[in-house]
Structure 1
Amino acid sequence: MLKLGIIGTNWITQQFVDAATASGEWQLTTVYSRHAETASAFATKNHAASTFTDLADFFSHGDFDAVYIASPNSLHFEQAKLAVEHGKHVIVEKPAMANQALFEQLDECLAAHPDVLLFEAARQIHEVNFKRVQDQISQMELIQGATLTYMKYSSRFDAVRSGQEPNIFSPKFAGGALQDLGVYVVYDAVGWFGMPDEVAYYPTMLSTGVDGKGVAILRYPTFTVTLNIGKTSNSALPSEINGLRDTIVMDNAAELARVTYQDNDGKPHNIGVQPDDNPMLAEAKDFAKVINDPTTYHAEYQAWRQLSRNVNKLLFNLRQSGHVYFSDDERDSAAK
């Protein structure tokens, strides 16, 4: 049984802890929060043995094998680096790093600690339906393009409309639509089609200085992929991948609850499975599998790392195209 520490006590942390527990591979032992009351409440609810409010003490004295990091995006680098330096495996919520310079710095840190593994919690790439789409693409005669949509209204947008700047919509914390819901569809595009030749991002900027929604265009040698993302409205549009006369239709490009292949005659075929009740269960199992047997699953782990690296690069290029900048970008470019 792997021992798990966590940074962050929000809803997504609870979802991962539930998935980790359900997998039968993990036991939550250690909780970090800036506030003692919050840490204690989360630990009590989830039967964790110890809590910390000091990050250095958490890594030096916490009893855990791996840490799950679900803090604001801008804090991922420092926290992940500390974990690696203390010999702890890392599971960091997407996006793993705010820009390429930080990703490369963390890669250097990992090279100095070769026994430590780092995973980006891009949950859908571990799910069956993501792989079913991938398999179906490989069987299609010709791909002519795709439109992938993921737009969900964020309750935090109400605060923006009243003049506030919550973390998820703040450049100080590397927020915005592309760095949140956009990561899912960028993972889809890179995972299914590889890296594009050219990219462009057309954001709708908010008063806080980040994108609330946007459209990304990814140009491949023979087709174009369009990404529709947003946190300021809801979309009920399906996503699709276009062949010649055949099409893959997804109810949602991130959640992939229903996946249908429409053949050359327009006949629909269900190619997906019923998703797990907890969408993070598959990744919790995969991470444990690799940590427990890194030699056997070395190639699979390296493929995930390369995919994460490519996604990080593409996100950065899209931001540059759309003139979406974060507070740390200049500092990190100078440091590089």
Structure 2
Amino acid sequence: MLKLGIIGSHTITKQMLAAAHASGHYRLTSVYSRHIERAKEFGQPYGAKYFYDDLETFFDQGDFDVVYIASPNSCHFAQAKLAIEHDKQVIVEKPAFVNPHQFDAILQLLQAHPQAHLFEAARHMYTPLYQLAKQKVQSMGTIQGATITAMKYSSRYDKVLDESAPTPNIFNPDFAGGALMDLGVYAVYVAVDLFGTPQQVQYFPTMTTSGVDGKGVAILRYDGFTVTLNVGKTANSYLPTEVYGLKDAVVFDNAFDTRKISYFDAEKHEHELIPDHLYGNGMLDEMLSFADSFEHPTDPERQRQYQERLQLAKKVNTVMFELRQSAHLHFPADN
């Protein structure tokens, strides 16, 4: 059983803990929060025994093998760095890091600490349903482009509209927030995994009063086709995600919480792709995959898969940064 420590007491952490429990491979032991009472309030119902409000003490004394980091985006780098220096296994919520400089520093640190591993929690990439879609796309004779949508209204945007309320972290440039960083990373993952690194990118953001992008459109140029990304946290979209062939297409009902994917053949007949399972908790597949890697650290095939995931995360990070650069979106963490 893997002993689990957590940083970040949010809704996504609760979903992760439910997935961790369902997997049968993790047991929560240690919780860090800036406020000790909050750490206890959050962790005790899940059976945690150790609580900390000092990050160094958390890593020095905490009884855990794996740390899950779900803090604001700008905090990920420093916290993951500490974890690797303490030879912990690391799961860091997307986006793992703000820019390629941070990612490169983490890669160097991982080389110096071979016992540690780091996974970016891009949950949609681990489901068998997504893998079926990837196989179908790879079998299409011609690719003419794609439209990938990741747009959902955030309840925290209400606080941005209420100018008397504090700015939520996810809409705050100091914490590397915004639509591209939060939901856009899902769309970038799909594009880079299916089609590789684009030749050229451009992002056209719609800015909020808090200084980050609330929504936007990105264009990724490949050899012979383009991919359009629609991302946003200030509106709801019900558009599917589509990959266009010649006469055929692959259609996702949702890019980041996928429940149905269909292949439409040249005769316009729909063929639903049916996976061997589809969990109610979208994080369960990734938590099972992470546990398999952590529990078999010397297995060559598992380590090959791990390195592939790490390099994919690196490519996504680079594309994300290039998209921000194209729109002149800069964060304090870039300095």
* TM-score range normalised by the length of the shorter chain: over 0.9
Cα offset, 1:280, TM superposition: 0.4
Q: 1:266 corresponds to which residue?
A: 268
Quote the Cα distance in structure 1 between the aligned partners of 2:130 and 2:198. 19
Q: 1:291 corresponds to which residue?
A: 294
Q: Which range is displaced more, 30-39 or 195-204?
A: 30-39
1:311 aligns with 2:316: yes
Question: Compared with structure 1, are the counterparts of its residues 47 and 182 closer, same or farther at alpha carbon in structure 2 (3 Å cutoff)?
Answer: same
1:218 aligns with 2:226: no
Give the residue type in structure 2 aligned to 1:314: V
Q: 1:333 corresponds to which residue?
A: none
1:281 aligns with 2:284: yes
1:199 aligns with 2:204: no
Quote the Cα distance in structure 2 between the aligned partners of 1:253 and 1:16. 19
Quote the Cα distance in structure 2 between the aligned partners of 1:40 and 1:294. 32
Give the residue type in structure 1 aligned to 2:305: E
Give the residue type in structure 2 aligned to 1:268: E
Q: 1:147 corresponds to which residue?
A: 147
Secondary structure at the aligned position of 1:217 is classed as: strand
1:302 aligns with 2:307: yes
Quote the Cα distance in structure 1 between the aligned partners of 2:233 and 2:241. 17
Q: Considering only aligned residues, what root-mean-square deviation do their CA atoms show, in Å?
A: 0.9
Quote the Cα distance in structure 1 between the aligned partners of 2:69 and 2:267. 47
Quote the Cα distance in structure 2 between the aligned partners of 1:169 and 1:221. 34
Q: 2:180 corresponds to which residue?
A: 178
Give the residue type in structure 2 aligned to 1:45: P
The residue correspondences of 1:1-336 to structure 2 (distance < 5 A) are 1-163=1-163, 164-273=166-275, 275-296=278-299, 297-330=302-335
Cα offset, 1:254, TM superposition: 1.2
Quote the Cα distance in structure 2 between the aligned partners of 1:183 and 1:172. 18
Q: Which range is displaced more, 138-147 or 274-283?
A: 274-283
- Deviation string 1:135-185 (CA, Å, 9 cap, x unpaired) is 001111101100000110001111111124211011100000000000101
Quote the Cα distance in structure 2 between the aligned partners of 1:278 and 1:17. 10
Quote the Cα distance in structure 2 between the aligned partners of 1:22 and 1:47. 15
Quote the Cα distance in structure 2 between the aligned partners of 1:52 and 1:37. 9
Q: Which range is displaced more, 56-65 or 158-167?
A: 158-167
Secondary structure at the aligned position of 2:102 is classed as: helix
Quote the Cα distance in structure 1 between the aligned partners of 2:94 and 2:225. 27
Quote the Cα distance in structure 2 between the aligned partners of 1:230 and 1:145. 21
Quote the Cα distance in structure 1 between the aligned partners of 2:274 and 2:60. 44
Quote the Cα distance in structure 1 between the aligned partners of 2:274 and 2:39. 39
Q: How many corresponding residue pairs?
A: 330
TM-score w.r.t. the length of structure 2 is: 0.97
Quote the Cα distance in structure 2 between the aligned partners of 1:323 and 1:128. 37
- Deviation string 1:263-312 (CA, Å, 9 cap, x unpaired) is 11000000143631110000100001001112320100000000000000
Secondary structure at the aligned position of 1:178 is classed as: helix
Structure 1 residue ranges without an equivalent (≥5): 331-336
Quote the Cα distance in structure 2 between the aligned partners of 1:12 and 1:239. 23
Quote the Cα distance in structure 1 between the aligned partners of 2:130 and 2:322. 24
TM-score w.r.t. the length of structure 1 is: 0.97
Secondary structure at the aligned position of 2:239 is classed as: coil
- Deviation string 1:102-137 (CA, Å, 9 cap, x unpaired) is 111111111111111011001111111111111001
Quote the Cα distance in structure 2 between the aligned partners of 1:129 and 1:214. 27
Quote the Cα distance in structure 2 between the aligned partners of 1:34 and 1:300. 35
Q: Which range is displaced more, 27-36 or 170-179?
A: 27-36
Q: Which range is displaced more, 163-172 or 70-79?
A: 163-172
Quote the Cα distance in structure 2 between the aligned partners of 1:149 and 1:272. 22
Which of structure 1's runs of 4+ aligned residues deviate more than 6 A? none
Secondary structure at the aligned position of 1:78 is classed as: helix
Quote the Cα distance in structure 2 between the aligned partners of 1:151 and 1:275. 22
Give the residue type in structure 2 aligned to 1:211: D
Quote the Cα distance in structure 2 between the aligned partners of 1:58 and 1:234. 39
Quote the Cα distance in structure 1 between the aligned partners of 2:332 and 2:169. 13
Quote the Cα distance in structure 2 between the aligned partners of 1:30 and 1:165. 29
Identity %: 52
Quote the Cα distance in structure 2 between the aligned partners of 1:301 and 1:118. 9
Quote the Cα distance in structure 2 between the aligned partners of 1:245 and 1:85. 52
